[in-house]
Amino acid sequence: MRRGSLVQLIVLGLVAAAITGAVAYWIPWLPKSAGEEADRIEFVFWFVTVIAVAVFATVMAVLVYSVVKFRAKPDDLSDGPPTHGHTGLEIVWTAIPTVLVTAISIVSAIVLAQNSRAGDNALDIKVVAQQFAWQFTYPNGQTYGTLRIPKGRPTRLDITSKDVLHSFWVPQLAQKQDAVTDQHNRIVVTPKRTGRFPIICTELCGLGHAIMRSHVEVMEPAAYRQWARSGGKSAANEDPGLAVFNGQGCNGCHTFAAAASAAQIGPSLDELRAEAKGAGKPLQAFIRESILDSNAYLEPGYQPGVMPSFEGQIPPKDLDALVQYLAENAKS
């Protein structure tokens, strides 16, 4: 090969690498990591991406060079010269991918093993998915609709489902796991910064799949210990109904000014009085019925079967507190 051709090939390769490298680097493909496991997965992501960019650039350089250099003249209808394979080339283009793929699999296997290790100090939380809500049960037996975990300590999530397939995913923590009935799938998350991150169901599970969301709050270890010691109440003087409202995840879907909740997946609970009137029922009876059987009355514009039935899910005392709290604080 002539020296000039080699220089042209290299320039083409560098241009292709620069373009794809820029696309890989400047577009924020991944959310900002909040966990040690996510950091490791990010490392694998970049490891594979660098290899992919290099392979792409090499192929593009040869392709573009060949298309331009060996293009047939407009009136040239003759066949090209006969060629045989090139043993040396074939060995090279078999050996290089073999090495690269082996390297990727080794790096991935190491990360996978590290990411499923919880250590001796793990916090164990049971996660139950059901159409269309999440429940988190702590070692002391308390159950909540949102997840709170301490920073810096591995949390082992034991994930199962009550009905169909769901999948647990917190993008910032990167770990993702299917929720399957009669099966306990485990993942470990070790948060490295505090904050509030979305929990997303990432397996199509029915009408309410898109709204099957909750959130995880990563707390400073001291704040978490205090919260756990207080039996999961965020403030001593908190209304017990408000605690149920937040604990059962109502705040994940409904706007309710008194609870400082602004979610817009389900109907606004600030309008409960008007909605009870629409249903032709007394306020408290309407609220109770809607919690236990959300399909009994549907606000216009909302689909049936999206909100889970809480029949048998809330202790009677909590249900009473919740109904009273909603009735007392409903605006219109």
Binding residues for ligand CUA (CB under 6 A): 129, 132, 166, 201, 203-205, 209, 212
Output 135 or 268, the one with its CB closest to ligand CUA.
135
CB of 127 to ligand CUA, least distance (A): 12
Query: Which candidate, 108, 13, 91, places its Cα nearest to that of 53?
Result: 13
Q: How far is CA 323 from CA 86, 270, 291, in A?
A: 79, 13, 9
Q: Residues near 212 by Cβ (< 8 Å), separated by ≥ 6?
A: 129, 131, 132, 133, 134, 166, 200, 201, 205
The DSSP bridge partners found for residue 213 are 200
CB of 148 to ligand CUA, least distance (A): 21
Output 63 or 204, the one with its CB closest to ligand CUA.
204
Output 148 or 209, the one with its CB closest to ligand CUA.
209
SS3 state at 188: strand
Output 188 or 201, the one with its CB closest to ligand CUA.
201
Instruction: Tell me how crowded residue 219 is: count the other CB atoms within 10 A of its CB.
Output: 20
SS3 state at 77: coil
Output 178 or 239, the one with its CB closest to ligand CUA.
178
CB of 136 to ligand CUA, least distance (A): 15
- How many residues in the chain? 332
CB of 158 to ligand CUA, least distance (A): 17
CB of 205 to ligand CUA, least distance (A): 3
